Chains A and B, each alone.
Chain A
Amino acid sequence: AQSVTQLDSQVPVFEEAPVELRCNYSSSVSVYLFWYVQYPNQGLQLLLKYLSGSTLVKGINGFEAEFNKSQTSFHLRKPSVHISDTAEYFCAVSGGGSQGNLIFGKGTKLSVKP
């Protein structure tokens, strides 16, 4: 069975600082990984995804993530954050070979301070 662990429930960071949100996964089948962002009272927006190929995945809003099979990780990074990046970030793994049936982690709240 697949599962996702987000190691930090909250990450405070100052504006223009780099940030890394950690995600580890467990899967017995082919791994498809995703990062979503959720702004307050909003829906889920896809930031980036790994299906196959290059292990370094670039997404929207300057975010990127690296798939590391040996460490079973898919950490999300941004070199310089903005106030507008304040949101909740969810790592997810495909639950059945589908991009719609996802198993989400518990989420990480990123707070960017001026």
Chain B
Amino acid sequence: GEDVEQSLFLSVREGDSSVINCTYTDSSSTYLYWYKQEPGAGLQLLTYIFSNMDMKQDQRLTVLLNKKDKHLSLRIADTQTGDSAIYFCAEARYYGGATNKLIFGTGTLLAVQP
């Protein structure tokens, strides 16, 4: 199908690690992305990974990519209350010509308890 799937909700305690999972559909996607949406705001790019990588680390964020299973995850170390938001994975799907279109996942609401 066309859908990029994520679990709906994750609740963690402050200081714990959070792992948000995503299953995408297009094995030819060259880049995969994680976006964050805070309440009442637009989406903001957090990080991305190129499809020939298995892992990318960026400060508290670790992205893992399993191409065989088309599975992407975002790990947030030492989760803070300010990390509470909706997290979207996205794949860049070829549209035609020189164009990709970003297909966003269903979003995961991360709630961080103090």
| A and B associate in one complex | no
Chain B residues packing against A (C-beta within 8 Å) = none
Residues of chain A touching chain B, judged by Cβ–Cβ distance below 8 Å, are none
